Amino acid sequence: YHAPPSSSGLSGSVGDYYYAFGSESALPEELRSKRVGGQGRLHIFHLPEGPAMLQVGATKGNRRSAMSVLKQLTERMKISQTFPPYQMEKDNRNHVSDAAKEIERQAVSKLTPQGIMAELKELTSFNSRSFREAKASADVQAFLRRKFEATGYTVCLHTFRNGGPATNIVAYVPGTGGSEELV
């Protein structure tokens, strides 16, 4: 942490700064005016009165209007733009059988950060997924269908309207009894 110069009008106390993650388009105007730094989806705000003084209400919308909770900065704090490792609760217990645990262990052992990143990059490489662009939407649906079919799932499409045409791609394993597996 480097204190800003006194001529900046900003506080020299690190505790007067907060950060949050989210799309820039999700920032309410009051927070936008208090943004003093950040990069990408990481935003740093100067809030010497604390976040309780903000007049920001809950908003409705989609993923582009989502923001994380504001967190206070502290001395020597390191903020990463990547998601932190998931921390399980201490009293969490896995109640599946030993055979199921072994299958899970084998499946997880094949996952790598590079493989996951490659999948995410491929999934997010489309210029648009908007229902307003029929060809782009059809391309993404075909991609997802191929991905699921390549892993052995049976795939069907569920079309509906929600402010415009929408399609769920449903992958499943046909069951032999009264239940089926859905992805």
Summarised one tens digit per residue, pLDDT across range 102-121 is 999 999 999 999 999 999 99
Q: Could you tell me the sign of the dihedral formed by the alpha carbons of 166, 171, 172, 174, in that order?
A: positive
pLDDT score at 117: 93
Global model pTM greater than 0.75: no
The residue ranges of the chain whose pLDDT is under 50 are: none
pLDDT score at 28: 84
